[in-house]
Structure 1
Amino acid sequence: MRRVVSLYLPNWPVDRLLRGLGEAAPPPDLPLILAGRAGRRRTVLAANRVAMAQGARVGMAATQAQALIPGLDVREADPKGDEAALGRLAVWAMRRYAPVCQPDPPDGLAIDATGAAHLKGGEAAMLADMIERLGAEGVAADAAIGPTYGAAHAVVRFRRTHRIIMPDAIDAAIGGLPLAGLRLPSELIAHLNRMGFDRIADVAHRPRAPLALRFGHELGRRIDQAYGRLEEPLIPVEAPEVPTVSRVFGEPIGAPETLARHITSLTSELCTAMETLGLGARRLDWLCFRVDNRIEAQRVGLARPSRDALRLARLLSDRIEKIDPGFGIERMTLSAVQAEPLHWKPGESALGQAETPDLSELVDVLSNRIGAQRLYRLVPIESDVPERSVGKAPPLSVAPVLDWTPEWPRPARLLKRPEPVETMALLPDNPPTHFTWRGVRRRVVKADGPERIFGEWRRRDAEVWAVRDYFQVEDEAGRRFWLFRAGNGEDQRTGSHAWFMHGLFG
């Protein structure tokens, strides 16, 4: 199932200008426009939110905007520079999110994220990451994902909700949107509006022949692209500094064993090129260009830089089953989109000393099969609160100096959220005599505690008086649990005195 992202940058020219000016940028409350030539007229090509709130509009005469808005800051627009910067942004998106990224001037990117969203924790997490990272750099952004670029393009620009479009919901997502969502020329939109067509649904379900006779074939082409009836291939941006090898076939190929043979050969060539540069691959993009102009792309990542041709070929060969060759593949490229310095060093282990096993190959196989976000190691964090004392780290990261203290045992399984239990105990320091958790009543035969943990007052005011009293308890069947009482058993300010299940031992 194809999934395409439309990344929308509503104020790209202004955001790029302000980011480039840095500390010399005008204050954010100052109205600002970018003016340029449109034929013989000097018009507004972009404006910040303050200027637009005071009446500035794209296409308005620059002199009219100056007369309308006092203190207006007028700067020269740079459309060519904006387009070049959009290409550089596409390279950034290609390296971070998906192998196929195409600039969509003047204000967006098209990203084929098929099979890549799970590497960022899912489609919603990937869209949020795009918006958050660009926002941190001062670039306003929004994003939508759908089975076609036309649908995602329309939704992100003309809707405020439903940014994730499912294949069976295209008409529901875009049918009520204005015709401008179909990326039609303004003259054609004006002509359609005069004929009484205002929404996409008004033309999407009409007989095609009369529309083509009156309005031409462009309208039908855009409708079919938005609804997925006509393929819209994306042309991936290329980074000249990225080590890349390619192969063109005289006859289209498609058999799995043929793909495996050629990917093994390409991997060997790429590793030779990286060895010349002193680099090792951390992320590989494999692009297969089909005869119908569609691109099948697969991405694999590595825990450590490597240029072991056999190892890389095995990782890529695991992805062959996800390649749909269609009517055949006529060209294939392999790129190390993320590479790091890698220089051979002799072994440093002394005679008789066991070498540290290299787990990177196992980590690479697992992370590329189940997703890099699902593979991690647990590391201690300096906090007394149990749920805050553990964090996730990359599986091959350097072990931190901090470690958990053995004096206070912790359960093997900590619940994601403490769950309420029904119990009875003598206040303030006695353990419970029994408890009911998830509908099962258990009698306590052994108990140890309390272990008192205070709230971290420096985080928030609500924890100034907060207290938890933890008990390790064992039931009749020998199962051990970790319970706590919210509060010290005497002062209501310290907690509700309700009991909760927080973990299980063994």
Structure 2
Amino acid sequence: MQIPTPRVTSLQQGNKVVIAAACPIARGLGLLPGMAITHARALVPELVITPADPEGDRAALLRLAMLGARRWCPLVMPSGPDGLFLDISGSAHLFGGEARMARRIVGLLARHGFTAIIAIADTPGAAWALARFGGGPVIVCPPAAHVDAIAPLPAALRLEPPAIDLLKRLGVETVGQLAALPRAPLARRFGGSVMARLDQATGRLPEPLDPVVPPEAIAVTRRFAEPIATAEAIEHWLRDLMPRLVTALAEAGQGARAIELVADRIDGVPQRLRIGLARPTRDAAHLLRLTLRRIEEIAPGYGIDALTLHVRRADPLGAQPFAETLEAGTPDLAPLVDTLANRIGPDRLWRTAARESDVPERSVAAVAPLDPPQRAAAKLKPDDVRQLDRSPDVHPWHPRWPRPVRLLRRPEPLDNVLAALPDQPPRRFTWRGKTHRVVRADGPERITGEWWKRATERHSVRDYFRVEDEVGERFWLFRRGDGERSESGDLAWFMHGSFG
């Protein structure tokens, strides 16, 4: 059984590096945020340390707030680096009550990999204190009971660390003790911040939220006094709607990546037509051509009383010149890609890109057709490639052993394989119900498992062979295992590709 490894993130703070966040295992070992990394490493030598990304954390928290504003309640505001304030007044009954709503949010976040604690109280300050010090995944404070609920909790109340340390030196440990002190001496020593936070938590001082505002969806609509039912009428009004949609995109500084035409029929059955785009665009003529080519997919029924163009996905797109000139020999492939993708489906159009992996099926991946090349080696000249091949100390950008023209997505098992161990190629095998007799073979080429990525591949081995059968077909197949050690594989044979 593998023992979990404690993990923390580090952050530069002045002249020292401290812990920014710690996993539950690290916290159980006494490694808390604010502790020096050198001290933490001395306590736990096997500690895994990852640099913190405050900007990325803030962006992720803002995306989560946007999700909450769209799904749970309209008033959502980030609170610190790891919290959200939600004003669920008037929204909880839509989810079956406050407790049930909180449990549903915790479950939804858990499915996305987030561990959440939710507290519901009359004031944001009380909810903040209960969520961090209440000790439960879901805490629902009864109405008008928040003052007594937070009284035994630590006197943090969203105060700055120097104020918290000074309160501890004065012997003030809980919110109840802080509330019992005379207000005038506290104000003279701490200023107004401590009393303001206390009054906000108890409800004496209002604390309005400044919620995030999700961007409005871009859409244009045309409603008709009399229903339309012909392709010519739909085309006429699309020619009116598309320029309006492009104008709205330009005002928002966005380019469409996916648009959807919704035709509302009078019988309440909407007709939907979705158009995908390879890159952001505001070309009204191009968008109109893609839409009109599929207009026959709309079934008007007894008539359509409204047409709406929605932008389902958009990316930032700056100002574009009126006449865009392309360099000689570099035609714009985006219109062709859009036409093909919307005709045969976006999942059937891709290009391959190299990946850093020794396992053949992991060394290539399907990417979008217009994605830029990701390997600088693809730009090498032939002389450079030959020089790499001659050098024994430099691994070339392409494998020394030939690779098949067609690589199967997943290796397929072979049956009735006849081969001598430990390193002989097969003499006969059956693939997809057909028996092949091998007349020529080359190999083996040994590929070991990626033990630095997957512990299960620590001892795995593949021996690859290039074989040719009696009719001239050439295949790329492998045996799982080295033929000597049982832990290296079960000696099963697989087809992985073909050379013709």
Q: Of the candidates 209, 223, 231, which is equivalent to residue 248 of structure 1? A: 223
Distance in 1 (CA, whole Å) between partners of 2:231 and 2:259 is 19
Q: Secondary structure at the match of 1:46?
A: helix
Q: For residue 330 of structure 2, what is the aligned residue in structure 1?
A: 356
Q: Which residue of 2 aligns with 1:454?
A: 448
Provide the C-alpha distance between the structure 2 equivalents of 1:254 and 1:37, rounded to a whole number of angstroms: 40
Amino acid at match of 2:478: F
Deviations 1:317-352 (A, max 9, x none): 1332222222211222223343331432576766xx
Question: Where do 1:52-451 residues align within 5 Å?
Answer: 73-75=139-141, 241-275=216-250, 278-339=253-314, 340-345=316-321, 354-401=328-375, 405-415=398-408, 416-451=410-445
Contact 1:380–1:402 (8 Å) recurs in 2: no
CA contact (8 A) 1:472 1:483 kept: yes
User: Which residue does 1:472 correspond to in 2?
Assistant: 466
* Largest Rg, 1 or 2: 2
**2:339 maps to amino acid:** V
Of stretches 302-311 and 415-424 in structure 1, the one that deviates more from structure 2 is: 415-424
Structure 1 residue 272, shift from structure 2 partner: 4.1
1:281-324, CA deviations, whole angstroms, 9 ceiling, x for partnerless residues?
22212222223344323221211122222221121113322222
- CA gap 1:25/1:419 in 2 versus in 1, 3 angstroms: same
Query: Contact (CA 8 Å) 2:259, 2:310: kept in 1 or not?
Result: yes
Deviation at 1:455, TM superposition (A): 1.0
C-alpha displacement at 1:463, in angstroms? 1.6
Q: Is contact 2:72–2:91 with CA below 8 Å preserved after alignment?
A: no
1:388-433 Cα offsets, whole Å, 9 max, x none, are 1111211111111166615222222223233123222333332222
CA distance in 1, matches of 2:76, 2:247: 41
Amino acid at match of 2:317: P
Is 2:442–2:465's contact at 8 Å kept on the other side of the alignment?
A: yes
Number of residue pairs matched? Answer: 306
Residue 99 of structure 2: aligned partner: 46
Local SS of the residue matching 1:447: strand
RMSD value over aligned CA atoms? Answer: 4.0
Letter in 1 for 2:441: A
- Inter-partner Cα distance in structure 2 for 1:252 and 1:13: 36
How far apart are residue 456 of structure 1 and its match? 1.1
Which residue is equivalent to 1:23? 82
Scaled by the length of structure 2, the TM-score of the pair is: 0.53
- 1:505 maps to 499
Closer, same or farther: CA 270–462 of 1 in aligned 2, 3 Å: closer
Contact 2:443 2:464 in 1 (8 A): yes
CA distance in 2, matches of 1:24, 1:276: 33
Letter in 2 for 1:336: V
Does the Cα contact within 8 Å between 1:13 and 1:46 map onto a contact in 2? no
Look up the equivalent residue of 1:422 and give its one-letter code: N
Alpha-carbon shift at residue 24 of structure 1 (Å): 5.0
Partner of 1:495: 489
The amino acid that maps onto 1:267 is M
Alpha carbons of 1:504 and 1:22: their partners in 2 closer, same or farther (altered >3 Å)?
A: same
Per the alignment, residue 189 of structure 1 pairs with none
Cα deviation, 1:112-144, whole Å, max 9, x if unaligned, reads xxxxxxxxxxxxxxxxxxxxxxxxxxxxxxxxx
Tell me, in whole angstroms, the C-alpha distance in 2 between the residues paired with 1:24 and 1:298. 39
Change in 2 beyond 3 A, CA 1:44/1:329: closer
- Deviation of 1:434 after TM superposition, in Å, equals 2.6
In 2, distance between residues paired with 1:291 and 1:437?
A: 56
The 3 A distance-change label for structure 1 pair 479 and 274 is same
Distance 1:347 1:408, change over 3 A: farther
Deviations 1:52-104 (A, max 9, x none): 9xxxxxxxxxxxxxxxx999944589xxxxxxxxxxxxxxxxxxxxxxxxxxx
Deviations 1:430-456 (A, max 9, x none): 222232323322222221111110111
CA separation in 2, counterparts of 1:70 and 1:482? 59
Give, in angstroms, the shift of residue 243 of structure 1: 4.0
CA separation in 1, counterparts of 2:83 and 2:215? 32
State the structure with bigger RCO (CA 8 A, min sep 6), 1 or 2.
Answer: 1
Asked if the contact 1:422–1:499 (Cα under 8 Å) also holds between the matched residues in 2, the reply is: no
How many angstroms apart in 1 are the aligned matches of 2:90 and 2:222? 44
Distance change >3 Å, CA 498–CA 23, structure 1 → 2: closer
SS at match of 1:265: helix
Q: Which amino acid aligns with 1:356?
A: T
C-alpha displacement of 1:256: 1.1
Contact 2:405 2:497 in 1 (8 A): yes
Q: Would the alpha carbon gap of residues 458 and 478 (structure 1) be closer, same or farther in structure 2, given more than 3 Å must change?
A: same
**Alignment partners' CA distance in 2, 1:35 and 1:263:** 42
CA distance in 1, matches of 2:83, 2:234: 54
Q: CA deviation at 1:240?
A: 7.4
Report the identity percentage: 46
Q: Deviations over 1:146-205 (max 9, x none)?
A: xxxxxxxxxxxxxxxxxxxxxxxxxxxxxxxxxxxxxxxxxxxxxxxxxxxxxxxxxxxx
* CA positional deviation for 1:241: 3.8
CA–CA separation in structure 1 for the residues paired with 2:247 and 2:437? 67
Distance 1:348 1:332, change over 3 A: closer
Supply the distance in 1 between the matched residues of 2:359 and 2:318 (Cα, whole angstroms): 41
